[in-house]
Amino acid sequence: MNMDSERDSKGVVLTPEQSKSRRQRNIAIGLAVGFLVLLFYAVTIVKVGPGVLNRPL
């Protein structure tokens, strides 16, 4: 098996530095999204009030 086909069989191979930074980016995005969910929930409660769920079906 030559070198090119060996690489193909492995797919995309990240360097340790790329793996570490991607993991850190993923954690940061996760935390940011989680924080925004909580923030928009709180804003909704403040703007609409707790009666937001109390409506006729």
Partner 1 sequence: MTFVGESRSVSGLAAISAAGPDDYVALLKPRVMSLVVFTALTGLVLSPQHVNIVIGFASLLAIAVGAGAAGALNMWYDADIDAVMRRTSRRPIPTGKVTRQEALAFGLTLAIFAVLTLGLVANLLAAALLAFTIFFYVVIYTMWLKRLTPQNIVIGGAAGALPPVVGYVAATGQVSLAALVLFAIIFVWTPPHFWALALVRSGDYGRAGVPMMPNVKGADRTRLEILIYSLVLAALGVLPFVLGFASPVYGVVSAALGAAFVGLAWQVYRLREGDRANKCAMRLFGFSILYLFLLFAEILSERLIASAMGFLR
Interface with partner 1 includes 52 (CB under 8 A)? no
Least distance to partner 1 from the beta carbon of 10, Å?
Answer: 8
Counting every residue written for the chain, the total comes to 57
CA distance 4 to 24: 30
- Positive/negative CA dihedral, 32, 34, 37, 43: negative
Interface with partner 1 includes 42 (CB under 8 A)? yes
CA distance 28 to 30: 5
Residue closer to partner 1 by CB (options 25, 52) is 25
Least distance to partner 1 from the beta carbon of 55, Å?
Answer: 20
Interface with partner 1 includes 33 (CB under 8 A)? no
